[in-house]
Amino acid sequence: MQCRNCRRELDSERVASGFDYCTAPPCVDACFEPVDVVALGVNKAADQYLLRRHLDLPATPARAASKDDDTLGGLDLGNGRERAEPRRRRRGAGERIAELEAALDTALAGETDPVRRRKLVDDHNAQLRRLNIRYRRAYQRRG
């Protein structure tokens, strides 16, 4: 059998392994097709590896890996370099509770109707219940 790229005679071991091209660098560059494998993390088990085409995922463009490349399939593995955009700091539960309380105080200051005041307090309490109550208790102890 001949190499499909350069037409040189192939080694019998290579043909037996299922290859139809030789190991010369130009032939490998022209004929090599990497397997597009995706690792799926499974809870409390080893990852499962599947072909991307079996998962109906969009094809990712093939790119050469560089020496400084610390990504895997588009995932940033993080090497400590600064990002172009700094991450927004997520507000803590204490800050969110303080904002809710300030909004309630502002709304109650302008309201004289007892029914409306009760509704504002009930709405405030409903918003607080959506937060983790453990953090709310810790915030109350600090204040």
Report d(CA 46, CA 67) in Å as an integer: 28
pLDDT digits (tens, 9 = 90+) for 57-77: 666 655 555 555 555 555 555
Rounded to 5°, the CA angle 21-23-24 comes to 105
pLDDT of residue 115: 92
Task: State the chain's mean pLDDT as an integer.
Answer: 77
pLDDT of residue 80: 55
Report d(CA 13, CA 26) in Å as an integer: 20
Q: Which residue has the higher pLDDT, 35 or 132?
A: 35
- pLDDT bin (cut points 50, 70, 90) of residue 42 is confident
- Per DSSP (E only), the strands in 17-133 are 37-40, 48-51, 71-72, 75-76
pLDDT digits (tens, 9 = 90+) for 104-140: 899 999 888 999 999 998 988 888 877 765 655 555 6
Q: How many CB atoms lie within 10 A of CB 103?
A: 14
Q: What is the mean predicted confidence (pLDDT) over 26-46?
A: 83
**SS3 breakdown of the chain: % helix, strand, coil, rounded to 5?**
40, 10, 50
What Å distances lie between residue 110 and 6, 116, 118, CA to CA?
A: 85, 11, 13
pLDDT of residue 52: 78
